[in-house]
Structure 1
């Protein structure tokens, strides 16, 4: 199971930066979902992309907080994220 999901949008500069960051710190360990692929995603995240989900829960938006994400990735799934 992929622990990291990036909700992004084509043509979004911040999304491109987030994708580059995730590929650098967790190559091949994340998936991208286009916010415009469903009404539900648009409703929940439209104005906040990019959004990083870790283990299905929102971890952050607009930028990847590298140190925090790496720290939380070191925890087992289900352990609380600070």
Structure 2
């Protein structure tokens, strides 16, 4: 079973992180810096979506922005912990 799980687990470079936020949001700016840095370190790709330009995202996440999704699944909201994001992407957390 562990071999099967290992085989299905994606490498960080195969993951896509989506940051859902909006312009002028200071927490979104903080989250952008963390997501950008962690994705650069791990090789994961990332995209940013503006909640004010997508009605479905607005309905789903308005009170939680910024929201971070990994491969379309919600990972976190408000504050992004870099070590937790690295672990979720399958990368080892950096010390310190």
Aligned pairs for 1:1-82 (under 5 A) are 3-27=16-40, 29-74=45-90
2:49 match: secondary structure: strand
1-side partners of 2:71 and 2:37: how far apart?
A: 19
1:2–1:34 CA distance, 2 compared to 1 (3 A): farther
Larger Rg: 2
Superposition RMSD on alpha carbons, in Å?
Answer: 1.7
Structure 1: stretches of 5+ with no match in the other structure: 76-82
Q: Which runs of 5+ in 2 are unaligned?
A: 1-13, 92-96
Which structure features the higher share of helix residues? 2
